[in-house]
Amino acid sequence: MNSSLKKKIYLLIKILISLSLLLLLFTLKININELLVILIKARYSYLFLALIPTALLIVIKAYKWQMLVNFSLEERVKYRESLFSLLYGLAPGLLTPGRAGEILRITTMSRFSKIKLAELFLVDKFIELSSLFLIAAVGSLILKFYGLFLTTFLLFVFSIALFNFRKTLFIPLLRVISKVVHRQVQILFQEIAFRHFLYYLLMSVAVLLLDIIAFYCIINALQDVNFTACMLAFPIILAAAVIPVSISGLGVREAAAVYVLSFFKVSPEVAFNASLLIFIVGSIIPAVAGQVSFLLSSKVKVEKRG
């Protein structure tokens, strides 16, 4: 079986999983009429308000990406270039498991080594996941999801340990396991000091908090929900959506939202709508903005050449 056919089969499986989960939700939990009524009666000013923290988190993510590149590469990158790079990668990220397609952001920085940029992209994603595991672990412990707490907490501890003991433990171990893997991990982690890792981790936590605020605005457009509920529930919903088994987390994210938010007396219809709307506001709109900026930039370059 060739790789192209495998990719098509994998994509088909993800589509089927998304559709199956959505079908189960609509069959067992969600009333479609109620779903539509809630959307019609939504306080749309709250939805527009959610755009503010979304814009801010993109600003911080672009700054973090700029800092990573500038710290590791000899030539400096401007903030505008890092912002454009980040936005460009959002659209392909929506179509790939775990948003791995966001790695295409490196194609906009043509003067840098693509291998080096790919390594920095992996570091960026590693740090983002570490912050998500940390916040999700806290929320799952408070909500008494002990299995999820243990999983997310151990993943976070592993992330910290990987950086803190990388030279004395993990890299020598990987050298024994595989010389190829050892070289890649050595390049990936030895150049970033632990204090810098913590600095980037704090920025990722700030991004996550802004994401929670955006979710708070969106869900309160549909139903009055306190901030504590959003603070505890949303990281768990995001952690579930990271599982690469569906298209852009569709179905998995909504199922997690319906389940987790039920502990705060949020109706399945509100939870479903809030989950879908945060995806539109936080992912689709920025991705569209990224593609528009890319097309405009390409048009300007063509006109200059002409």
Tell me the pLDDT of the chain (306 aa) as tens digits.
566 777 777 778 888 888 888 899 988 889 999 999 999 999 999 999 999 999 999 999 999 999 988 887 777 889 999 999 999 998 888 877 667 778 889 888 888 888 888 878 878 887 888 888 788 887 777 777 666 666 666 666 666 555 555 454 444 544 544 444 444 455 455 566 677 778 888 999 999 999 999 999 999 999 999 999 999 899 889 888 887 778 888 888 999 999 999 999 999 999 999 999 999 999 999 999 988 888 887 765 655 665
Q: Measure the CA–CA gap between 44 and 46, rounded to whole angstroms.
A: 5
Ordered DSSP codes for 77-136: --HHHHHHHHHHHHHHHHTSGGGGGGGGGGGG-TTS-HHHHHHHHHHHHHHHHHHHHHHH
Residue 52 amino acid letter: I
Q: Percentages helix, strand, coil for the chain, rounded to the nearest 5?
A: 85, 0, 15
Q: Measure the CA–CA gap between 25 and 286, rounded to whole angstroms.
A: 27
Ramachandran class of 144: left when φ > 0, alpha when ψ lies in -120 to 50, beta otherwise: left
Q: Which residues contact 204 (CB under 8 A, 6 or more apart)?
A: 64, 127, 128, 130, 131, 132
Q: Measure the CA–CA gap between 56 and 139, rounded to whole angstroms.
A: 23
305 class by beta-carbon count within 10 Å (0-12 exposed, 13-18 middle, 19+ buried) = exposed
Ramachandran class of 224: left when φ > 0, alpha when ψ lies in -120 to 50, beta otherwise: beta
Quick one: pLDDT at residue 255? 93
Q: What is the pTM of this model?
A: 0.83
Quick one: pLDDT at residue 151? 66
Quick one: pLDDT at residue 164? 52
Q: Which residues contact 47 (CB under 8 A, 6 or more apart)?
A: 217, 218, 221, 277, 281
CA 262 to chain centre: 23
Q: Measure the CA–CA gap between 281 and 127, rounded to whole angstroms.
A: 23
Q: Measure the CA–CA gap between 231 and 214, rounded to whole angstroms.
A: 11
Contacts 24+ apart (CB under 8 A), 194-198: 194/163, 194/164, 196/71, 197/127, 197/163
Give the count of alpha carbons within 13 A of 175, CB side only: 9
Q: Measure the CA–CA gap between 157 and 244, rounded to whole angstroms.
A: 22
Residue with tokens 């879908």: 276
